[in-house]
Amino acid sequence: MRKAQSLLARLGLGNPRRRIPRHEVRFLGFATLDPMGRPFAWRGEVFRGIYPESVELVHQLFRSGLVRELVESGTFIETELSDLQLDGFPLVLRHKRITASLPTEWTASMLRDAALTILAVNRICNRHGFELRDAHPYNVSFDRSTPKWIDPGSIGPRRESWTAAAEFVDCGVVPLLFLQRGELLEGYSVLMSERSLKIASKPFRKSVLFERFLGMIAETADTFSDARIDEEWIARMAAARPAGSSIWGEYQHGESSPLEDLRPHPANRFSRFFQIADLVGAHARDAGTCLDLAGNVGLASLVLSEAHPHLRCVNTDYDPEAIEKSYALLKAHPRFRVESYLLNFMLPMYVDSVARFRSDLVLALAVTHHLILTQGHKLDEVFEKIAAYSRKYVFVEFMPLGMWAGDPLNKPPVPEWYTAEWFERGFARQFRLLEKRVIESHTVAGVLEPHRVLFIGRLR
């Protein structure tokens, strides 16, 4: 510690630093894999404690202008030196806080843009005499619709050839081509293996998946070269994406853009979102973050973000085509404070998914009837899951007509127990009911029937 303090003095940073109480911090991510330091959360912000032996390297990255150029390029998380100190870490960096998403929560287009970001970061590092020693997509997260490198600990002195080139291909490019061709099982399996099995340290190139990758690019193990894979190669190989199809991919998109439904008009099928926005103002005005579960393309999040500019909205769905369309929309219109990710909220892929996506306000619109009537989930289980993602408020729709699809002459039968009273009793076991309101009705077989009942609650 004395040696590190002497080094700080030589660097002109000998002024007293504010000490962070260690018991107040929450360390993030993997605890032992970063040679530079450890990221942690404190008082709503994200920091990185730097080990004594890495202090000089960090200051080289700043003095050289590398960090400034990376941040200004938009490829690197906004990072600055702080005046803080934590026991064991004589230097602390402050990072901009963004959603800590994982590659298995991205679509093909998102992984493509992340791969291009990795190459851009490495190219900038090379100009300053450095390189990325790790080049896998788990070191990237999205700031709204912009992928950014989040791990300064992966930056080290440049070598004659890029040491992480094979890892970049195995962990980023190979799954990208599978996803790009609609082979989701294979693509996401490779991405999951990078986190759980560390494929970079295993003989991945002898696997069937790598052989299939070589076949897709018309190469053999003898002719293939990692060095040939650059931005132009990725853009060319990832350009031809087959038109995807899914049950719900067109639900909020169809023939026109969802942007047309961001304002009230007679043909707007989602006019209830404007009522919900008003109710957010009435019951959850203090919410700063919003999570839309099973939100499709994210129209509800877009409406809420327009009505409440302070509200940062995350849209999620387990349909890749819906999230693909949402991502394209958000890239084209970056003014929206919305981001979209793949998530099956009832069966999340990782244990930490709930904590990473937890928000002040959670929406579960037009989804509970599917979970209960077609997928067999129990009501209490559904409400427990929704509650786990919320810090304060929930807005949950009940669909009295069950799986009714719009036939004005007939309504499908629903179980005898499937009633608004049954739903409310279950809701009250988990939440304090703030308001219950019918927000949409339809005439079916000559009778005006409530179609959507919104339950607004607060965590008990």
pLDDT tens digits for range 186-213: 999 999 988 777 666 568 898 999 999 9
Same structural domain, 122 and 229:
yes
Query: 41, 63, 95: which is the final residue of a domain?
Result: 95
Among residues 415, 393, 332, 16, the alpha carbon closest in space to that of 144 is found at: 332
Phi, psi of 43 (to 5 degrees): 50, 45
- Could you give the angle at which helices 66-73 and 55-63 cross, rounded to 10 degrees? 60
- Shortest CA distance to 279 belongs to which of 406, 380, 365? 365
184 and 228 share one domain = yes
Say what the pLDDT of residue 66 is: 98
On whether both 330 and 297 belong to a single domain, the answer is yes
With respect to residue 242, please indicate whether it lies within any of the assigned structural domains: no
Question: How far is residue 100's CA from residue 82's CA, in Å, rounded to a whole number?
Answer: 21
pTM reported for the whole predicted model: 0.90
Judge if 146 and 166 occupy the same domain: yes
Give the integer Cα–Cα distance in Å for 282 and 269.
Answer: 23
pLDDT attached to residue 45: 95
Determine which of 136-145, 189-198, 208-217, 396-405 has the lowest per-residue pLDDT on average: 189-198
Q: Which of 95, 121, 139 is the last residue of a domain?
A: 95
Q: Is the pLDDT confidence value at 420 over 60? A: yes
Q: Are residues 175 and 293 in the same domain?
A: no
DSSP conformation letters of 95-136: E-------GGGS-HHHHHHHHHHHHHHHHHHHHTTEEES---
Say yes or no: 151 and 272 in one domain: no
pLDDT reading at 300 higher than 70: yes
Within a domain: residue 319?
A: yes
Identify whether 383 is part of a domain.
yes
| Residue 165 counted as domain residue | yes
Give the domain range for residue 194: 103-237
Whichever domain contains 78, its CATH number is: 3.30.200
Number of domains in the chain: 3
